[in-house]
Amino acid sequence: MTSNSDASVVVIGGGPAGLTAAYELLKLSDHHSVTVFEGGNLVGGIARTESHNGYRFDIGGHRFFTKVTEVEAMWQEVMGDDFITVPRQSRIYYRGRFFSYPLKLLNALSNIGVYESARIMASYLKWQVRPHPVEDNFEQWVINRFGGRLYMHFFRSYTEKVWGIPPTSIRADWAAQRIKNLSLIKAVWNAISGANDTSSLIEEFQYPRLGPGQMWEKCRDLIRERGGEVTMETKVTRVSRDGMKVTGVDIEQPDGTLSHVPADYVINSMAIDELIEAFDPPPPPEIVEAASRLRYRDFLIVTLVLKSADPFPDNWIYVHAPEVKVGRIQNFRAWSADMIPNPETSSIGMEYFCQAGDGLWTMSDEDLRALASQELAQLGLAKEDDVIDAAIIRQPKAYPVYDGEYQGALEVISAWLKQIEGFQTVGRNGLHRYNNQDHSMLSAMYAARNILGANHDVWDVNVERSYHEDFTTEEENTRSAAKPANTTVTPLGTGRALPTHSPAHRSDSESREAG
């Protein structure tokens, strides 16, 4: 693709990927008009920060840590002094006890007992000697690295709660992406030695003072200052094409007005199934059918305001207990005191993983408040009558599902989308990848650079690379190639990323982590 001066660019979605694409393009070029259309009333997507009566809260917690230098640079450019350093404290609730996470040896032995610990190690050794010969699904992948007994204790129940399907229905590549290079031996060694070289278990991280949404609110403002547009509460209903060339989008404004916006380039971050449905004329039937096979997991958070401060010290707690529906609990003051307007109160996020239309999703706000209050008390973290206020947010399509159908469907869809001139898709839902915020941003940066003449394959941005000590960007590889063969290349330093969400789950971003 060659650069086109004075070209018009439409960006679909005002989340991390969409805003990064606009920011990067305006930073690198003075000759492109850039318009971002966001359907909601807040920027940031699943990384936005909501507020209720002065209390600010995330859609799940979002740590900032990365080894991708371009992403690190953008975070610093946008946030500046509004980043704070937050010490990490997280635990797992299981069988009525709290386990430190990362693992602490004496705490784990005390909670699970010497006898059961010995059985876990014996199970681990058994599976090291006779592992599953293939690793097609999540269960096989985890058992080969942690043993069957630890899988039963700490992975199976939580994974079923998060995804709503058996772990045997989840692809092994999801486990490889989310759990990365952690194993039982490494976890035990970290617990004994105090060492920690696993990126998901970092002991402190950066965080915007007013929540992750502050990052994207400031990014929106910078885009506008540089001549770009960010139009809120405006939904893209159609993506027009002339043959295999994109020509523009149709939008629906808040008052219901419909209009067409011509564009030379379109960068998309909406979910792929919605994108395929939006194309005009429609894609071939096999593309539409493939998109219908993509699945998503939805999410809701009940944020409870308590009349007492800090019922527990953790940033978050993973709840593996099957007797309650809550999957994870956030303490937003532990992320930043500036999220809480009254220091004598606390803000606790009760996170539930669900499907749009199921019993949790359709429950009334009053019943959700009652459920969350009761479960917080059931876990021994607060009293029901401590709750003085609540806010409920329902988030559809929070997590792309890595089931047995997704990979084949995605290969069919991506092959067709790559043929459309002037069109690119980026981000978590735009690529149907359960990735972290920095990976979404990197895919968007590459898309912006492609408009200026580069030739990056955004589908090939490997989330693994951003967590390896030997990760280098394409620009650094080019520079390194010019060096003598015996030149040592220093690994990149640490930075910021989205959170890990227990041994078996990261959102999100997302992180949910993400998420």
Check residue 484 and give its pLDDT: 33
For residue 189, what pLDDT band results from cuts at 50, 70 and 90? low
Q: Looking at the chain, how many residues does it have?
A: 515
Quick one: pLDDT at residue 6? 79
465 CA to centre of own chain:
16
Q: How many CB atoms lie within 10 A of CB 174?
A: 26
Query: Which tens digit of pLDDT belongs to each residue from 253-287?
Result: 999 999 999 999 999 999 999 999 999 999 999 99
Could you tell me the pLDDT band of residue 399, with boundaries at 50, 70 and 90?
Answer: very high
pLDDT greater at residue 355 or residue 194: 355
| CA–CA distance, 307 with 310 (Å, rounded to integer) | 10
Identify the band that residue 202 occupies on the pLDDT scale cut at 50, 70 and 90: low
CA angle, 147 then 152 then 158, to 5°: 120
Residues facing 314 on adjacent strands:
none
For the chain, percent of residues with pLDDT exceeding 90:
71
d(CA 137, CA 304): 36
Per the structure, how many domains does the chain have?
Answer: 1
Alpha helices in 40-104 (DSSP H): 69-79
Average pLDDT in the chain: 86
Does any domain span residue 328? no
Mean pLDDT of 319-345: 96
**Nearest alpha-carbon partner for 347 in 338, 356, 357:** 338
Residue 484: CB atoms within 10 Å: 5
Between residues 88 and 303, the one the model is more confident about = 303
> Is residue 326's pLDDT more than 50?
yes
247 falls within a domain: no
Give, in degrees to the nearest 5, the angle at Cα 189 between 172 and 67.
60
The pLDDT value recorded for residue 509 is 35
Taking residue 460's Cβ as centre, other Cβ atoms within 10 Å add up to 9
**Selection from 265, 254, 264, 215 nearest residue 231 by Cα:** 254
Reported as a single tens digit per residue, the pLDDT across 23-33 is 999 999 988 99
Please check whether residue 476 lies inside any domain of the structure. no
Cβ burial 32-64 (10 Å sphere, 16+ → b, else e): bbbbbbbbeebbbbbbbbbbeeebbbbbbbbbb
Q: Would residue 230 count as lying in a domain?
A: no
Q: Which residue has the higher pLDDT, 177 or 412?
A: 412
Name the H helices within 264-405.
Answer: 272-278, 285-291, 332-335, 359-362, 365-378
Residue, of 351 and 466, whose pLDDT is higher = 351
Give the domain extent around 174. 103-195
Question: Residues 109-152: pLDDT tens digits?
Answer: 888 888 998 999 999 999 999 999 999 999 999 999 989 998 99
Task: Return the number of other C-beta atoms located less than 10 Å from residue 270's C-beta.
Answer: 23
CB-neighbour burial class of residue 258 (10 A; exposed 0-12, middle 13-18, buried 19+): exposed
Interacting residues of 457 by C-beta distance below 8 A, sequence separation 6+: none
DSSP-derived pairing of the beta strands 346-354 and 296-306: antiparallel
- The reported pLDDT for the residue numbered 474 is 45
Residue 425's SS3 state is strand
pLDDT of residue 182: 60
CA distance 268 to 436: 17
Q: Is residue 60 part of a domain?
A: no
Q: Is the pLDDT of residue 5 over 60?
A: no
3-state DSSP helix/strand/coil % of the chain, to nearest 5: 40, 25, 35
Are the C-beta atoms of residues 423 and 236 closer than 8 Å to each other?
no
The predicted structure's pLDDT at residue 173:
83
If DSSP codes are grouped into helix, strand and coil, which group holds residue 461?
Answer: coil
pLDDT for res 11? 98
| Torsion sign (Cα): 495, 501, 506, 507 | negative
DSSP codes, 126-146: HHHHS--S---BHHHHHHHHH
Confidence of residue 461 (pLDDT cuts 50, 70, 90): confident
pLDDT of residue 188 exceeding 70: no
Residues 465, 84, 348, CA angle at the centre, nearest 5°? 95
Residue with the larger pLDDT of the pair 285 and 205: 285
pTM of the model: 0.86
In a domain, 179, yes or no: yes
Return the pLDDT at 201. Answer: 53
Task: State how far Cα 106 lies from the chain centre.
Answer: 32
User: What sign for the dihedral angle of Cα 61, 66, 70, 73?
Assistant: positive
Percent of the chain with pLDDT over 70: 83
* Structure confidence at residue 436 (pLDDT): 84
- Please tell me the number of Cα atoms within 13 Å of 253 on its side-chain side: 8
Mean pLDDT over 47-53 rounds to 97
pLDDT at 18 over 90: yes
Q: What is the DSSP string of 15-57?
A: SHHHHHHHHHHHHH-SSEEEEEE-SSSSSSGGG-EEEETTEEE
What is the rounded distance in angstroms from the CA atom of residue 378 to the CA atom of residue 422? 54
pLDDT at 110: 86
pLDDT at 214 over 50: yes
Kindly report the backbone phi and psi dihedral angles of residue 184, in degrees, each rounded to the nearest multiple of 5, phi listed first: -60, -45
* pLDDT on residue 94: 92
The answer to whether 5 and 11 have CB atoms below 8 angstroms apart is no
What is the distance between the alpha carbons of residues 14 and 444, in angstroms, rounded to a whole number? 12
User: Is the pLDDT higher at 109 or at 425?
Assistant: 425
- Decide if 166 is inside a domain: yes
* Structure tokens belonging to residue 492: 């990149």
DSSP, collapsed to helix, strand or coil, labels residue 244 as coil
Q: Cα Rg for the chain, rounded, in angstroms?
A: 23
CA distances from 92 to 284, 384, 397, 509 (A): 47, 21, 25, 19
- Using the 8-state DSSP alphabet, how is residue 154 labeled? I
38 in any annotated domain: no
